[in-house]
Structure 1
Amino acid sequence: MAILVLGGAGYIGSHMVDLLVQKKEDVVVVDNLSYGHRQAVPESVPFYQGDVRDHDFLEQVFTQHDIEAVFHFCAYIQVPESVVKPNDYFDNNVVGLISLINVMKNHQVKKLIFSSSAAVYGTPERVPIKEDDAKDPINPYGLTKLMMEQIMRWDGAAYEMQWLAFRYFNVAGARLDGNLGEDHRPETHLIPIVLQAALGQREHVEMCGNDYQTRDGYNVRDYVHVLDLVQAHYFGLEYLRQGGQSDYFNIGSKQGFTVKEIVEAARRVTGVNIKAIDAPRRGGDPDSLVADSTKIRTDLGWQSPHTDIDTIISSAWNWLQKHPNGYSK
């Protein structure tokens, strides 16, 4: 039976595909390539270009392959964009999930592993954040993720489908050999932006907001290496295969870094005196997001061997130096 990876040509999805191939799993990839890259998917893996909202297209994929489980990595993810284009996010994320679950139901596919987000919590009441803490998203992106979790909960009960929602924080890094990495157009994630400045592709880094309620005024985020993240998803697949029940899990490194601390770490790793300037806050950004990941470590046995921020940045730097134009020639 095959594992279907939706968004498998994107940053996290392509690393998931890479791990599944290493595990000798039968893998199928669907991606509309609006943000993904065909070059990130091995030629040996069946690839279908199409949209998760296209019911007939998905039906064809499920008909051609005996699907055991689905990994969902195809949501739109940019917080500022969601504030100015909320309906695009409700359409792609929420409507797309409903389309997927309808096709899964038609083909009796009972396992769904979902890429959720810490954005479901909004501005947390306490840090580190636990899974049962209050959910109050402060941007449309976070709201769509929470809605998608709720849809899975109700549909899972109605259609006897098991699901997992992994709420993770900031994902960074790349495959350690530098042959697979992050290539967003435009790039919105902090670590690759900082490294682009180190490589001379940007004049400076903008640190958005210096008046947050944090130790140095810059907002705090919890960073997890992409290799550790996809390992957690694979552990989730094995958990469901063993009869595990539907659940929510935080994924994080147990610590947080401010924007300024990330810039300083990148200077240390690259040896470049990266220029950073203060800029206005972005819309919809909480002061601090750090995960309590005790539950996933206890229940699934997950660990994060690449937690060190220098390791995360070094792997991303290795990728960027080898691929300064990403997947483009």
Structure 2
Amino acid sequence: MTSAALRPFSVLVTGGAGYIGSHAVLALLDAGWQVSVLDNLVTGFRWAVDPRARFHEGDIADEVLVARILAEDGIGAILHFAGSVVVPESVADPLKYYRNNTANSRSLIESAVRGGVRHFIFSSTAATYGTPDSIPVREDMPTVPINPYGMSKLMTEAMLKDVAAAHPINYGALRYFNVAGADPQGRTGQSTAGATHLIKVAVEAALGRRPEVAIFGTDFETPDGTGVRDYIHVSDLADAHLHVLDTLIADPARSHVLNCGYGRGFSVLEVLDSVDRLAGSSIVRRMEPRRAGDPAALIADNSRILATTPWRPRLADLDTIVAHALAWERTLAARA
């Protein structure tokens, strides 16, 4: 990675008090970057921000505030995580998602252009693909989102493409698959109450914080009938952002759309079995019908990010992901 001595600017992390953002902050700081965080703390936690970072409480749509941060903190790159991420909520309240994820991102991108920021990394999602015709999913496959969450992210990708063609800024749009786990050193993890991600839900159930885990669909065309997903460790994902940032800096004329996953999947039952095994418990499982729009499997083709950057996963093991999620859940329980 770029030598700390050769880094002429600081990095702004929006949503840096949230789950993935707080891990990205740690990765940047550990690699020697100067980091500023902007978060409105609606879903994030002030304590999740490493004290080595400069923290600003506020909203990415506050263009006066953002302009001041960019100028005063010497920001040359933005890692943009701020936004809303719950798919069912996006269906029930689409305007919230088009405001938080699209309109507010537009404001941030405009602030970046005005402030002379040259590099922008966007937290996108595999939900931009909708229900893919085949797996693994490649970046050049059709993007046909089936919910406002996916569409709100895809619209931001489109804005970035157009802006990069018109202004001296390049970008990386990283399409995450299923993010899970926690910092191996126990410094941060997924802390939001009422989270909907399977591994988070399962470890909460294993530690008695939920009565059961619902399994939506047992008749998919998969080996055990339950949905298969590509789970990526959050610290590997944070590390990917650092490599993409270096790649953007090295070639400022190019932008990238990249899948972030491991290229293999695990079923719902395999995940629950891993949690049971590592927690020494037996989670109550409640079988439910399929949810509309859920594909049988969603697995990344990650060959592009492997070819484009030096990033290589270090924590690509389901039991490792679950073990770190369990350790973090016990930390949260001790804080309560």
Instruction: State the partner residue of 2:75.
Output: 67
Counterpart amino acid of residue 296 in structure 2: D
Deviation per CA, 1:290-318, whole angstroms, max 9, x where unpaired?
A: 00001111110211111110000001111
Instruction: State the partner residue of 1:274.
Output: 283
Asked if 1:154 is matched to 2:162, the reply is yes
Asked if 1:316 is matched to 2:325, the reply is yes
Structure 2: distance between partners of 1:144 and 1:167? 13
The correspondence for 2:231, drawn from 198, 205, 223, is 223
Structure 2 counterparts to residues 204-219 of structure 1, below 5 A: 204-219=212-227
Instruction: State the partner residue of 1:186.
Output: 194
> What's the CA shift for 1:283?
4.5
Q: Are residues 7 and 283 of structure 1, via their aligned partners in 2, closer, same or farther at CA, if it must alter by over 3 Å?
A: farther
The correspondence for 2:90, drawn from 73, 79, 82, is 82
TM-score (norm 2): 0.94
Structure 2 counterparts to residues 5-20 of structure 1, below 5 A: 5-20=13-28
Which is worse superposed, 126-135 or 58-67? 58-67
> What's the CA shift for 1:284?
4.0
In structure 1, list runs of 5 or more residues that go unmatched.
Answer: none
Deviation per CA, 1:219-267, whole angstroms, max 9, x where unpaired?
A: 2110000111011100011111111510111111111111121111111
Asked if 1:263 is matched to 2:272, the reply is yes
On the 8 A contact 1:10/1:35 being kept in 2, the answer is yes
Counterpart amino acid of residue 161 in structure 1: I
Instruction: State the partner residue of 2:6.
Output: none
On the 8 A contact 1:35/1:185 being kept in 2, the answer is no
Give 3-state SS (helix, strand or coil) of 1:112's partner.
strand
Counterpart amino acid of residue 137 in structure 1: P
In structure 2, list runs of 5 or more residues that go unmatched.
Answer: 1-8
The correspondence for 1:25, drawn from 29, 33, 38, is 33
> What's the CA shift for 1:51?
1.0
The correspondence for 1:43, drawn from 51, 57, 66, is 51
On the 8 A contact 1:177/1:318 being kept in 2, the answer is no
> What's the CA shift for 1:60?
2.2
Structure 2: distance between partners of 1:124 and 1:44? 41
Which is worse superposed, 280-289 or 292-301? 280-289
On the 8 A contact 2:131/2:293 being kept in 1, the answer is no
On the 8 A contact 2:69/2:75 being kept in 1, the answer is no
Structure 2: distance between partners of 1:83 and 1:281? 17
Counterpart amino acid of residue 318 in structure 1: A
Give 3-state SS (helix, strand or coil) of 1:313's partner.
helix
Structure 2: distance between partners of 1:44 and 1:160? 30
Instruction: State the partner residue of 1:128.
Output: 136
> What's the CA shift for 1:187?
1.3
Counterpart amino acid of residue 288 in structure 1: A
Which is worse superposed, 235-244 or 3-12? 235-244
Counterpart amino acid of residue 326 in structure 2: W
Instruction: State the partner residue of 1:250.
Output: 259
On the 8 A contact 2:38/2:58 being kept in 1, the answer is yes
Instruction: State the partner residue of 1:292.
Output: 301
Which is worse superposed, 310-319 or 244-253? 244-253
Structure 2: distance between partners of 1:298 and 1:159? 26
Deviation per CA, 1:56-91, whole angstroms, max 9, x where unpaired?
A: 221222232211100010121111111101110000
Structure 2: distance between partners of 1:63 and 1:303? 34
Which is worse superposed, 113-122 or 170-179? 170-179
On the 8 A contact 2:29/2:52 being kept in 1, the answer is no
Counterpart amino acid of residue 272 in structure 2: V
Which is worse superposed, 274-283 or 118-127? 274-283
TM-score (norm 1): 0.96
Identity %, equivalent residues: 41
Structure 1: distance between partners of 2:311 and 2:31? 17
